Chain A
């Protein structure tokens, strides 16, 4: 995206997958947020570290082998390269389209192939499933998977209707021995966990405005050898099956912004949405708009008067995808990571803003006429000048999906282990004590590997569905609390 001036923000002490993160935690060096000027550690030193123990084995079944499903299979396969996840593997893949199933099989040669998800769920060795089918097909698969005792990672949005999303949330809530994680991958990203307290502790001053966008030129249309297959593939282009650009593209922005604005408990859940939509470029018979804008209003409280503007288009790619938080003291730009770039953030201070102190030593980047303070752990001037800094800064790219699947794997493994341990000592009766012990195990696991749960999945899905509805109707819709309640 176009670069302006800012402070780059990244995560301290979030220990998953990055061996180097162990060192500052054990040594008690928490300097990231303070712009600590710590020289990068040589790679050889990292190899001497005592390894984090591997998480208990998790065998995956992946249901839905389209482009995203295959990306998930590849990412799960890559997880094995990290010694902590060496016991992870894809043991089953499923798709009713033979060509996609074969391609998925090529990515996971040892996996058994299924054309019916129910047959996959019947395999006891499959402990966890990833549901990467079209959104409108999630409900039945997730419900069956939870009933079969599997941990479930369900791509976001959870569903294309609020009743279906609530059915999924209810089933996930009931399945206390299992982990349910919606595909809200930003929730697991260490960079977000670094930025969240930064923003919540008032670096912006008073909130003024939030703006987010998703700009990617492309038709979304897919070709196929038969009209039936083409109709099946192009589910995103029909209102009956699609949640539109707000659901299929912007749900991560909606989730991240409402999270950073405080969530439902702290006035971060919007109270109304006004939408606009147009079909400007891809007029190929679809009834889903290719350009959408929504304005979210926040209720009385800490965000009273603040509005969140979200726009998405398939007609232009400029500036891609980002969020911008505007406050009375500063503005913060967050650039989400993907397969080609790391997650980054910068702070742009107002001239009359209160000095924080540490930003004097922080690295700064230029964005045209603006200068941004880099909000990244150890992004200090001294670190940038240290020998080997260039190599250290060229860290391997870790995509948000990888963090999300690491979290899911670790939490599913930990909860499975806790279930096994408890039942070895006390049997499998559903008692309050059993639930309390598992809640403890979840708390411990999830604090190490934070992830979204069914609550966040439902919240974001409802927002996306209502935003899509507002855009299609070109109206203002009130968001009633009952939309979000089970």
Chain B
């Protein structure tokens, strides 16, 4: 019996997949494993300067997720990391912080400083800070026993302005199914159109904050069970 093709669609799909090549297949179709941000054991610190003294703000609530290739294992005893492609670990994910959860660490008057920060960051209109990772390049050689260190690139959105940023991060396992991602980045407030605050403190005068800030974070993520 003569076989006929009822529809050209399956053929065209197969042809396009072949022509597109393995790279597309990897990016779009390779199975991934999701690590979900946890509400505990997380900290974000923002360190800054001012004409009075250095200051610090903190949050312990941050959310988001990261997808890695299935089978990746952050086994510190190994010198290799499975799942690398040309030195990069394919990953996608979002790290989110809520502006009003970032709190001043001064022992008194903290809520005043929280308000100053929220105003400067236009919290009413932009209540989230988001970072989307686009690239994780492993720094080599990896020394067995040490955390895996990556040069991370991604998009950071603050107060309605998105910039590409690069900074090193480390990843290490925490127990069986959890990992901790640690990182530190130097930023300028004005890059995000945030005017460095200058609150008027009675008895002390204008407290001018410096433009440069340093952000440090510890983020605990737990591997989620695969979807059925």
Give the interface of A toward B (CB within 8 A).
13, 15, 22-23, 25-28, 41, 45-46, 48-53, 417, 421-422, 424-426, 433-434, 436-437, 440, 444, 448
Contacts and interface: CB of A to CB of B under 8 A. Distances in A.
A50 B112 contact: yes
A49 B206 CA distance: 11
Contact of A52 (B39, B60, B111): B111
A337 B220 CA distance: 50
Contacts of B202: 22-23, 26, 41, 45-46, 48-49
A424 B98 contact: yes
A51 B199 CA distance: 10
A392 B42 CA distance: 46
Contacts of A434: 39
Interface string B80-109: 000000000000000010101101001011
A53 B114 contact: yes
B203 interface: yes
A444 B108 CA distance: 12
B114 A426 contact: no
Interface in B37-67: 37-40, 60-64
Contact of B61 (A46, A49, A50, A422): A422
A90 B100 CA distance: 25
A23 B199 CA distance: 13
Contacts of B149: none
Contact of B115 (A26, A53, A426): A53
Given A421-B100, A436-B40, 6 more contacts: A26-B204, A50-B199, A52-B112, A422-B39, A433-B40, A448-B111
A444 B103 CA distance: 11
Contacts of A13: 108
Contact of A25 (B108, B115, B116): B108
B121 to A, nearest CB: 12
B218 interface: no
B7 interface: no
B9 interface: no
Contacts, number: 78
Nearest to A437: B39
12 contacts: A22-B112, A23-B203, A25-B108, A26-B201, A27-B204, A48-B200, A50-B115, A424-B63, A425-B62, A425-B96, A440-B60, A448-B111
A433 B118 CA distance: 26
Contacts of A26: 106, 108-109, 112, 201-204
A25 B109 contact: yes
B37 A425 contact: yes
B12 to A, nearest CB: 41
A41 B201 CA distance: 13
Contacts of B114: 53
Interface residues on B, range: 20 to 34
A425 B98 contact: yes
A52 B115 contact: yes
A216 to B, nearest CB: 38
Contacts of A440: 60
Contacts of B118: 53
B61 A425 contact: yes
A112 B96 CA distance: 39
A27 B203 CA distance: 7
B110 to A, nearest CB: 9
Contacts of A46: 202
Contacts of A45: 202
Interface in B193-228: 199-204
A52 B61 CA distance: 22
B108 A426 contact: no
Given A53-B118, A425-B61, A425-B96, A433 B108 contact: no
A49 B40 contact: no
Q: Which 9 A-B pairs give the minimum distances between C-beta atoms?
A: A425-B63, A53-B115, A25-B108, A26-B109, A50-B199, A433-B39, A421-B98, A23-B202, A27-B203
Contacts of B37: 425
Contacts of A425: 37, 39, 61-64, 96, 98
A176 to B, nearest CB: 15
A86 to B, nearest CB: 13
Contacts of A51: 112, 115
Contacts of B106: 26
A439 to B, nearest CB: 12
A13 B114 CA distance: 18
A437 B63 CA distance: 13
Nearest to B106: A26
Contacts of B119: 53
A53 B111 CA distance: 7
- Residue from A15, A51, A417, A421 whose CB has the most chain B CB atoms within 10 Å: A421
A422 to B, nearest CB: 7
Contacts of B103: 444
A175 to B, nearest CB: 20
A52 B114 CA distance: 9
Contacts of A49: 200-202
B204 A417 contact: no
A417 B109 contact: no
